[in-house]
A and B are shown apart, each in its own frame.
Chain A
Amino acid sequence: MSNPSSPDNTSLIRSSLKKRYARERRFKLYGLLAVLTGFMFLFVLLADIVIKGTPAFTQHFIQVTIDLDPDALGVAPGASAEELQAANFGGAIKRGLREMFPDVTSRKDKRALYRMISIGAEYDLRDLLLEQPELLGQKKEIWLRAHSEAGSYLKGQVDTELAEEDRKVKNNLIGWLDRLEAQGKTESRFNVAFFTSGDSREPELAGIKAALYGSFFTLMVTFCLAFPIGVLAAVYLEEFAPRNRLTDLIEININNLAAVPSIVFGLLGLAVFINFFEMPRSAPLVGGIVLSLMTLPTIIITSRAAIQAVPPSIRQAALGVGASQLQTVFHHVLPVAMPGILTGSIIGMAQALGESAPLLMIGMVAFIMDVPGGVSDPSTVLPVQIFLWADSPERGFMEKTSAAIMVLMGFLILMNAVAIYLRRRFETH
């Protein structure tokens, strides 16, 4: 055996050092490249969504002088609120538009002119009048919601270089809009309706409120079912259950369930909850139950891992002073495992928030305009809303799709922030 500090060995080691360090540097470089590639993809994806989605948060309004003459509206001068509901606001708007552009005469052009304003504008006008009945009989300049096509031109999304027949926004509309813009009769405002209304066939009227509420109710149901059942199942399996064939079988099945395609859970929900138990279709209740079935394995597996990771010395300490098994688990093991359990649960909930396939099966894909008031009202959820909008051909829905994705991601970030906050709080205790 040669002496390790002999000059021989030293030179041998020295000659191999270069190679070893080079290998290390290469490995670091690969790692860095992998991380950078990941970041690049993420950045491209996010940038694309943000660029496409940002315009959806603004809505253009067009100022039109409207004659709120009771005769023209078809109501009596001191009309009650009920009578105003039925008044002909559409006609008043059309008249106002005709007065602004007296040169438009042909039937076809007039129809194109009317399309400049959203059909939702009538309802906005009605609401305005219901709020301020003294406006009745006056002639007033009123800002009206632009149609999504007009809006897309005003937002600069229309390529005027394109041949007229290849684009939806025709030259005459562009001419009118240019004139209005020159007169300062167009205005870009924050799109409140995007957050305060439900789905609509018209892009400028469509909002995510119904989907947000639907997602909220669905997740509430999911959380209320999956979290306690999942955590308690994990505690039972980890701390109380005997180790035998049956528990082994259960463990294998839980692991397998985590890998079951989510649409299968949707089929199950359709067959069992809707067809057999006759629960309401399209309801967050059923959606929540189906999603909790899907989330349960994730929560159980991560909770078990978190419980397993609790140092046995803590259990021994508690048992050593005479704590019962239940006290040991609830006073010592669970608090220490809580950060891990919460992380797992939030990951599961985030999965549930982003899930659409099983919800399609139970009818949450229906076109629903109303904001649900509870867990049994028909509703849709954010990812399904995104799916529906992505499916719509109108240009206006494209930006809505991206904007809804931004909202969805905002909620995911929020949920993760809550998870991190809770984790910190539990860890300091």
Chain B
Amino acid sequence: MSTVASMGNFSSKGTADKADKPQQALDINHAADDHETIGTPWVEDAKMSARNVNVFYGDKQAIMSVSLDIGRNEVVAMIGPSGCGKSTFLRTLNRMNDIIPGCRVEGNITLDNEDIYQSQQDTVLLRARVGMVFQKPNPFPKSIYENVAYGPKIHGLAHSNAEMDEIVEKSLRRAGLFNEVKDQLDKPGTGLSGGQQQRLCIARAIAVSPEVILMDEPCSALDPIATARIEELIDELKEKYTIAIVTHSMQQAARVSQRTAYFHLGKLIEVGDTKEIFTNPQHHLTENYITGRFG
């Protein structure tokens, strides 16, 4: 990418010009150069907003000047081919990139209008407010109860055992897992099926009552039935939480999200209402991707 340096002063316009679709449909690299995001990355009531975010792994730039808002109580889906930077972008939202050696983030990301990358930002507090569910179900090698209770315990959210029991039950119920595991709360969480483990991880994430939940391909390791269960859950969760979800499945993005962002080679190509993106994509890369011509 020769134009990396120039990307810094890129600014996305609210009134994105719906330019003619470029004709060279498959000239991916050329078309991805020097672009402006199509669609409206902004929303009225943004819970989190990213402005001109660049992420570097060592010398390699993984994300180029991405600006995107995540609206309150909204599900934003991020799609795009592998290596397009959507997971990387997701991880910048709760600073999980911090633990990757050599990773550097530039730009501005706010949560409720507060910069989360300012030096006095506490990552522990940030991650309590912005929870995360990972691609592979990763329950702690502890009991189901301890898995859910861990977050509230370290944050001191429960003042008595009864209160903790309540939090655990409520979280498991909300994750749609309680009835399946209520008799085996002391069994190891790792002994559950893949779908159950992922719901346990969701229960663990919501047990600390975060404001935003980031989901990094939460269903990629699950079968269609478990996936349907999780999607149902996402639908219920958006009543209370703001959700950003990275997914490889376009059907999933179409089913669960209100807005969809399409990433390509570290750039945010197009963003807009999910229905709009899937029925009337403006950029040829988006169109090619969602029609299955590549990706």
Q: Which A residues fall within an 8 A CB radius of B? A: 243, 311, 313-324, 327, 331-332, 335-336, 429
Contact = CB atoms under 8 A, between A and B. Distances in A.
B155 A322 contact: yes
Contacts of B96: 316, 319-320
B141 A314 contact: yes
A314 B125 CA distance: 19
Contacts, number: 67
Contact of B124 (A243, A311, A317, A324): A324
A318 B208 contact: no
B251 to A, nearest CB: 26
A331 B155 CA distance: 14
Interface of B: 94, 96, 99, 101, 124-128, 131-134, 136, 138-142, 150-151, 154-155, 201, 204-205, 207-208
B136 to A, nearest CB: 6
A315 B138 CA distance: 9
A320 B127 contact: yes
Given A313-B134, A317-B134, A327-B154, A322 B124 contact: yes
Q: Interface residues of A: mostly helix, strand, loop or mixed? A: helix
A317 B141 contact: no
Nearest to A428: B188
B142 A322 contact: no
Contact of B139 (A315, A317, A331, A336): A317
Contacts of A322: 124-128, 131, 151, 154-155, 208
A314 B140 CA distance: 6
Nearest to A324: B124
A335 B188 CA distance: 14
A323 B132 contact: no
Contacts of B133: 320
Contacts of B101: 243
Contact of A320 (B134, B136, B154, B155): B134
A328 to B, nearest CB: 9
A313 B155 CA distance: 21
B250 to A, nearest CB: 26
A318 B134 CA distance: 11
A108 B99 CA distance: 86
Given A322-B125, A322-B128, A323-B124, A317 B154 contact: no
A335 B94 CA distance: 26
Question: Which has the most chain A C-beta neighbours within 10 Å: B96, B126, B132, B138?
Answer: B138
Contacts of A324: 124, 154
Contacts of A320: 94, 96, 127, 131-134, 205
